[in-house]
């Protein structure tokens, strides 16, 4: 893409300028249009056969103004404009003289001129992009005038029923929206949301503390200290032990049979750590004398979810109900589709709050969502995402322990299905 001008307002005046200046052809791709498109193409003095509208004529496209679109389509055909239909078309594109392109969210309707839309006006589009548009056009089906007349005649009853149902739906929604936006209701809703998040965090923190009291046999006191300053960074904070004989990599924990065992952490590896007062999480790097980094977002590849391996973007929110968010996709996956899961983790269990698909649909997403709904599979997957690892891009200058650790505190060790988790309070 050589150059693109971005527009965050109604772009129809620019459309009119480009169409009126067209010298050879005008082609429009849009699933939704009305009389506005008829008037737009009339701005060009070119004959009708040089103008093409590519649309999705099926009501499955979700057009709530289907009658208006059919009437506009009929008007276009009567003016000699070529009308073709392409299944599942959702792009909104204007191509003038097979060159300059306008592409964005705005539909070719009067309603869209008052909507919040964004558009990119491209002077010299890539050949690959224009080739895709040509492929869409070649794959489309020509729509004759008689067929549109038959649709208007035979679907009249169904169209009227949809219009009436839509009007009732809009009225009901407006009533609910007004109630929702009432000041008192908004404040109450916000208060309930905050209270629910706080209650969830408090409950998770309490369960973390119970687990620590039951399992941890070793505790190490420490506090935030500033490392030796560098010219380029004089605020490098680390959480350092106060007892010179203490060791952040050597722990004793209680077993399920009430015995004890020693757990040794690998030096310079990243481990999860939880604040027992808030249930907030981060990853930190452990060495014998200090815990020196806080990282709240990491990408981990090769995590098993039942029988498939996924890459997981692990995020630890600091102010929401969930204290862990996992965004995952299959290893080596090149598409944009993702699955995102919000989780409350309390040291002994992982509770799935919500799971949703992102950026369209892919076959693997149904598998992932089903697997995450399985409590055992979720527990094992969360455990794998909390296993120790080496951070390849640690940014050694960003020793930011003060972003997470308290000024003074006590550190202990928990065990989650064989995965060590540090705990500080």
- Do the Cβ atoms of 273 and 239 come closer than 8 Å? no
Q: What is the mean pLDDT of the chain?
A: 86
- C-alpha to C-alpha distance for 401 and 127, rounded to whole angstroms: 50
Helices marked H in 8-64 — which ranges?
A: 12-20, 35-42
- How far apart are the C-alpha atoms of 22 and 50, rounded to whole Å? 10
Closest CA relative to residue 106, chosen from 92, 86, 122, 123: 92
Give the residue-averaged pLDDT of 227-250. 75
| Mean local confidence (pLDDT), 110-122 | 90
Q: How large a percentage of the chain has pLDDT more than 90?
A: 42
Task: With beta carbons less than 8 A apart as the criterion, state whether 4 and 122 touch.
Answer: yes
Other CB atoms within 10 A of residue 317 CB? 15
CA atoms within 13 A on the CB side of 54: 23
pLDDT of residue 358: 87
Q: What is the pLDDT of residue 386?
A: 92
Mean pLDDT score, 32-47: 94
pLDDT at 205: 66
Q: What pLDDT is stored for residue 396 in this prediction?
A: 56
Q: Write down the pLDDT at residue 16.
A: 92
Winning range, highest mean pLDDT, from 86-95, 291-300, 318-327: 86-95
For tokens 């993702």, what's the residue?
338
Q: What is the pLDDT of residues 209-238, one digit of tens each?
A: 776 666 677 889 988 888 765 444 445 788
- What distance in Å separates the CA atoms of residue 380 and residue 397, rounded to the nearest whole number? 34
pLDDT at 1: 46
**Looking up tokens 């999705």, which residue turns up?**
56
- Under the banding of pLDDT at 50, 70 and 90, the label for residue 364 is confident
What was the pLDDT predicted at 232? Answer: 45
The string of pLDDT tens digits covering residues 123-158 is 888 888 889 999 999 999 999 999 999 999 999 999
Nearest CA among 358, 336, 340, 350 for reference residue 384: 350
Model-wide pTM > 0.85: no
Element containing residue 173 per DSSP (H, E): helix 156-180
Where does 47-198 show beta strands of DSSP type E? 51-55, 82-85, 92-96, 101-104, 119-122, 141-142
Structure token pair of residue 335 = 């598409």
pLDDT at 141: 96
Residue with tokens 């005046």: 13
- Cβ atoms of 273 and 281 within 8 Å: the answer is yes
Quickly state the pLDDT bin for 121 (edges 50, 70, 90).
confident
CB-neighbour burial class of residue 386 (10 A; exposed 0-12, middle 13-18, buried 19+): buried
Token pair 């990599």: residue? 249
Q: Would you place residue 22 in the very low, low, confident or very high pLDDT band (cuts 50, 70, 90)?
A: very high
Minimal CA–CA distance to 145: which of 68, 83, 233? 83
Mean pLDDT across 352-362: 85
CA 369 – CA 341 distance, rounded (Å) = 9
Distant-in-sequence, close-in-space partners of 425: CB < 8 Å, separation ≥ 6: 209, 212, 275, 276, 277, 406, 409, 410
Band (pLDDT 50/70/90 cuts) for residue 391 is confident
Beta bridge partners of residue 106, listed in sequence order: none
| pLDDT at res. 234 | 46
Residues facing 27 on adjacent strands: 52, 95
Asked if residue 305 has pLDDT above 60, the reply is yes
Q: Cα 26 to chain center, whole Å?
A: 36
Instruction: Please give the share of the chain, as a percent, with pLDDT higher than 70.
Output: 89
- Whether 306 shows a pLDDT value over 50: the answer reads yes
Contact indicator for 369, 306 with CB cutoff of 8 Å = no
CB 54 within 8 A of CB 136: yes
Distance CA 298, CA 393 (A): 10
The whole-angstrom separation of Cα 136 and Cα 86 is 7
Does residue 190 carry a pLDDT above 50?
yes
Mean pLDDT score, 242-255: 88
Q: Count the neighbouring beta carbons within 10 Å of the beta carbon of residue 246.
A: 17
Q: Which of 188-202, 268-282, 361-375, 382-396 has the lowest mean pLDDT?
A: 188-202
For the residues 191-214, what does the mean pLDDT come to?
A: 66
pLDDT at 384 > cutoff 60: yes
DSSP annotation of 387: S
Residues linked to residue 330 through DSSP beta bridges, in sequence order: 310
What does the pLDDT read at residue 108?
94
- Residue-wise pLDDT tens digits, 331-347: 888 888 899 999 888 88
Task: Reply yes or no on domain 4-169 having CATH 3.30.870.10.
Answer: yes
Residue ranges of the chain that CATH labels 3.30.870.10: 4-169
């Amino acid at each position: 893409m050589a150059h693109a001008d971005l527009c965050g307002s109604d772009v129809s005046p620019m459309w009119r300028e480009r169409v009126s200046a067209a010298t050879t052809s005008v082609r429009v791709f849009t699933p939704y249009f009305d009389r506005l498109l008829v008037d737009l193409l009339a701005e060009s003095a070119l004959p009708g056969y040089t103008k093409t509208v590519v649309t999705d004529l099926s009501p499955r496209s979700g057009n709530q103004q289907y009658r208006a679109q059919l009437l506009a389509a009929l008007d276009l055909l009567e003016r000699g404009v070529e009308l073709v239909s392409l299944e599942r078309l959702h792009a909104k594109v204007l191509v003038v003289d097979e060159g300059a392109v306008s592409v964005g969210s705005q539909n070719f309707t009067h309603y869209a001129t008052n909507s919040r839309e964004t558009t990119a006006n491209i002077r010299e589009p890539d050949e690959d992009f224009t080739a895709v548009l040509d492929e869409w056009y070649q794959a489309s089906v020509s729509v004759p005038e008689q067929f549109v007349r038959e649709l208007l005649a035979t679907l009249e009853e169904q169209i009227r029923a949809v219009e009436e149902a839509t009007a009732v739906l809009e009225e009901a929604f407006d009533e609910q929206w007004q109630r929702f936006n009432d000041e008192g209701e908004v404040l109450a809703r916000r208060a309930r949301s905050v209270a629910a998040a706080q209650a969830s965090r408090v409950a998770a923190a309490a369960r973390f503390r119970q687990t620590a009291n039951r399992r941890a046999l070793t505790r190490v006191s420490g506090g935030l200290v500033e490392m030796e300053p560098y010219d380029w960074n004089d605020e490098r904070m680390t959480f350092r032990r106060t007892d010179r004989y203490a060791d952040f990599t050597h722990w004793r924990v209680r077993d399920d049979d009430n015995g004890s065992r020693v757990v040794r952490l690998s030096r310079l590896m990243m481990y999860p750590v939880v604040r027992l007062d808030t249930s907030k999480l981060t990853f930190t790097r452990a060495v014998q004398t200090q815990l020196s980094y806080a990282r709240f977002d990491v990408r981990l590849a090769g995590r098993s979810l039942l029988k498939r391996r996924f890459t997981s973007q692990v995020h630890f929110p600091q102010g929401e109900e969930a204290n862990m968010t996992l965004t995952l996709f299959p290893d080596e996956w090149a598409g944009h589709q993702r699955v995102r899961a919000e989780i409350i983790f309390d040291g002994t269990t992982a509770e799935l709050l919500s799971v949703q698909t992102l950026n369209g649909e892919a076959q693997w997403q149904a598998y992932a969502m089903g697997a995450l709904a399985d409590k055992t599979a979720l527990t094992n997957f969360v455990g794998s995402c909390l296993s120790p690892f080496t951070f390849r891009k640690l940014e050694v200058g960003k020793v930011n322990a003060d972003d997470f650790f308290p000024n003074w505190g006590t550190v202990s060790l928990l065990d989650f299905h064989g995965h060590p988790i540090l705990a500080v309070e």
